[in-house]
Amino acid sequence: MKRAVFLDRDGVLNEPVVRGGRPYPPTTVEELRIVPGALPALQRLKQAGFTLIVVTNQPDVGRGTQTWEGVNAINEILRSTLPVDDILICFHDEKDNCNCRKPRPGLILDGAAKHGIHLAASYLIGDRWRDIDAGTAAGCITLLIDYRYRERAPMTAPSYRVESISAAVDRILERERLSN
């Protein structure tokens, strides 16, 4: 089975819009800013043989404050700019109580089934507690890009805390090198 790196979108691949210490997704392609270092970092993961799967909550669609087309336009720019293999999206709000909305592991489990991924040999990179809890529940090694948002901590501590996507990839590749 293959190994993957599951990546949150907002805050990991693109810069979040931070208001009041809390991160929000860009609402338009004009607001989209890819995180510095994301392209070379993901290229390094691809060269190491990882499948790259984006797993993202986009509840503003379910809430009526963003459109599917708006989310898709942002995702298309990410697909055309970064070497990602798939983008899996949960459009639900918390009240929908779905299995795909992080912190539940549904998106990760779906991605693993779709791509033949061995979860215990895979990683999740996120910037929020929901990402880390979903990755832990799926059995992945977790890396938190710690922006020190004003929100609660994950239920389980991340495997690693890092300051950027580049540092997360360095940690993954170093861990892989040491385990071989």
DSSP code per residue over the chain: -B-EEEE-SBTTTB--EEETTEEE--SSGGG--BPTTHHHHHHHHHHTT-EEEEEEE-HHHHHTSS-HHHHHHHHHHHHHHS--SEEEEE---GGG--SSSTTSSHHHHHHHHHHTB-GGG-EEEESSHHHHHHHHHHT-EEEEE----SSPPPSS--SEEESSHHHHHHHHHHHHHHH-
Instruction: Identify whether 131 is a catalytic site residue.
Output: no
Q: Output the tens digit of pLDDT for each of the chain's 180 residues.
A: 799 999 999 999 999 887 887 788 998 999 999 999 999 999 999 999 999 999 999 998 888 888 889 999 999 999 999 999 999 999 988 888 999 999 999 999 999 999 999 999 999 999 999 999 999 999 999 999 999 888 888 999 999 999 999 999 999 999 999 988
Write out the residue range of the structural domain in which residue 36 sits. Answer: 4-179
Instruction: Identify whether 8 is a catalytic site residue.
Output: yes
The active-site residue, picked from 8, 127, 131, 133, is 8
Structural domains in the chain (count): 1
pLDDT of residue 22: 79
Q: Which CATH number belongs to the domain containing residue 66 in this structure?
A: 3.40.50.1000
pLDDT of residue 130: 96
